[in-house]
Amino acid sequence: MNRRKFFRNGALSALGASIFAPIETIRASGLEHEWKRKKAKNIILLVSDGMSTGTLNMADLYLSRKTGKGSNWLGLYRENKVSRALMDMASASSIVTDSAAASSSWGGGARIKNGGINIGVNGEPHLPIWQKFKAVGKKAGCVTTVPVTHATPAGFCVNQKSRNDQASIAEKYLKHGFDVLMGGGNEYFSSEKRKDKKDMYTAFANKGYYVARSRDEMMSAPTNKPMLGVFSDNGLPYTKDRENNKELLKNTPSLAEMTGKAIENLKNAPQGFVLQVEAGKVDWAAHGNDIAGLLYDQVAFDEAVKVAMDFAEKDKETLVIITTDHGNANPGVIYGKYANDNFDSIQNYKHTNEWILNGIGKESSVSNIKERVEYANGFALTTEEAEMLLGYYDSIQSEDGWYNPKHLPFRALAEIQKQHNSVGWISMQHSADYVELAMFGPGSQLLKPFIKNTDLHYLMLEAAEVENTF
């Protein structure tokens, strides 16, 4: 083909694309024009904590291959419904952030050192954004699958020198009167669990809160009272473990259910509402290289995205923000002859690695371990692999910690699983990824293709037309 003909055909192809496939572009530009004429009365920010791009990718692959339909999140990309960007999540102390500094960058509008909550590099407090929105009359809430006092929800709500002081964070939530708080964290509310023996449940009830301790209590909550829902001592159970345990299924809500109930509680606020929704255990699963924990909790997050989007598309006054705070472990499906079938085998997993490993002890036999893994994952360990896993339990000790307090052999089990599911991991720690950020609704037109984490704080204020004069 000569050069002139090549370019002529290329031009015709481009023209054809613009003539025959313009609908999504026109719709997107039309929505953007509509958003420019509105302010965001409500904001729903959904964050899948510790979600590397590979996690987003694998959830979409899993859903596409199992159901023929991809994830809700990537469906928004396919349908060109959202503005999209990459976001630099570095903290003041490292290019690799922790969740506390990450949430504080959004919540306080400043980069701080890892480990703190809205306390600047010189010890100065930064007023959290949910307090700013409360000050102008909006209702504010947080729902999560980890303790509601954990770093990500706290970063939108309070100032705290150390993220670890979750008992104090619980008290500050009450002081500031946030309207909906749901997740885990009984050990920071119960008088029997707290070191100071304060009964935070009674304290919240005395301030007019409806207190829910089970899924049924949450589902029957009135909408005319603020709400505290605490459904586990620490984090909520992983989605896959919850699905295969009737008691957990009955007593603990899903993230989508909590999201729906929170919106139901907040949606009639005259001045609007702001809500943070966190899939916190995606991060915990990544720390443990736990593929069933990671993948199914990411899918559960995706169901919460649908709940938020269904509301926003009808409401037309709600800005929906979907993102993550950092990468973690950077998992992905690895090339190989059997990659498709191996990855599809995860569809048949019954339990997480946390469930597998917590059911093993020093007294377990090699045959016990083989049976447990085969039941949970559908493949047979070799005797050598089972003996290797059992060997770790000789040195296990109970101790405090966030993600793997007993030093269970998560990494070793993930390496064994890789031969059968083709999922690889680069580490068990956070990574310095530029993260995905998507927006729908009034204010989404303000998003530029690449932003700093702190920019999101000011974008939310601008979208809601709230002056930053606090």
CATH of the domain at 318: 3.40.720.10
Closest CA to 42 of 214, 377, 259, 268: 268
User: For the CA atoms of the chain, what is the radius of gyration?
Assistant: 23
Question: What pLDDT is stored for residue 298 in this prediction?
Answer: 99
Q: At residue 236, what are phi and psi to the nearest 5 degrees?
A: -70, 160
**Are residue 413 and residue 434 in the same domain, yes or no?**
no
In a domain, 24, yes or no: no
Per-residue pLDDT tens for 405-447? 678 999 999 999 999 999 999 999 999 999 999 999 999 999 9
**Are residue 237 and residue 135 in the same domain, yes or no?**
yes
Q: How confident is the model at residue 33 (pLDDT cuts 50, 70, 90)?
A: low
Average pLDDT over residues 189-197: 98
**Are residue 413 and residue 444 in the same domain, yes or no?**
no
- % of the chain beyond a pLDDT of 90: 89
**Are residue 451 and residue 405 in the same domain, yes or no?**
no
In a domain, 447, yes or no: yes
In a domain, 452, yes or no: yes
- Residue 208, sorted as left (phi over 0), alpha (psi -120 to 50) or beta, turns out to be left
**Are residue 249 and residue 345 in the same domain, yes or no?**
no
In a domain, 7, yes or no: no
Residue 336 has pLDDT above 50, yes or no: yes
Tell me, what DSSP letter sits at residue 81?
-
**Are residue 296 and residue 418 in the same domain, yes or no?**
no
Q: What is the 3-state secondary structure (H, E, C) of 284-313?
A: HHHHCCCHHHHHHHHHHHHHHHHHHHHHHH
Q: How confident is the model at residue 34 (pLDDT cuts 50, 70, 90)?
A: confident
In a domain, 2, yes or no: no
**Are residue 353 and residue 288 in the same domain, yes or no?**
no
Average pLDDT over residues 380-388: 98
Closest CA to 431 of 126, 179, 98, 192: 98
Query: pLDDT higher for 402 or 230?
Result: 230
Q: How confident is the model at residue 37 (pLDDT cuts 50, 70, 90)?
A: confident
**Are residue 325 and residue 382 in the same domain, yes or no?**
no
What's the mean per-residue pLDDT of the chain? 94
Pairing type for strands 42-48 and 318-323 reads: parallel
Which stretch of 2-11, 151-160, 363-372 has the lowest confidence by average pLDDT? 2-11
Per-residue pLDDT tens for 274-317? 999 999 999 999 999 999 999 999 999 999 999 999 999 999 99
Residue 14 has pLDDT above 90, yes or no: no
Which stretch of 12-26, 28-42, 87-101 has the lowest confidence by average pLDDT? 12-26
**Are residue 369 and residue 433 in the same domain, yes or no?**
no
Number of domains composing the chain: 2
Distance between CA atoms of residues 120 and 122, nearest Å: 5
For the chain, the first-to-last Cα distance in angstroms comes to 66
In a domain, 14, yes or no: no
**Are residue 341 and residue 443 in the same domain, yes or no?**
no
Question: What pLDDT is stored for residue 322 in this prediction?
Answer: 99
Residue 461 has pLDDT above 80, yes or no: yes
**Are residue 307 and residue 404 in the same domain, yes or no?**
no
Q: How confident is the model at residue 363 (pLDDT cuts 50, 70, 90)?
A: very high
Average pLDDT over residues 369-381: 98
Question: What pLDDT is stored for residue 6 in this prediction?
Answer: 36
Domain extent for 275: 29-331+429-463
In a domain, 67, yes or no: yes
In a domain, 51, yes or no: yes
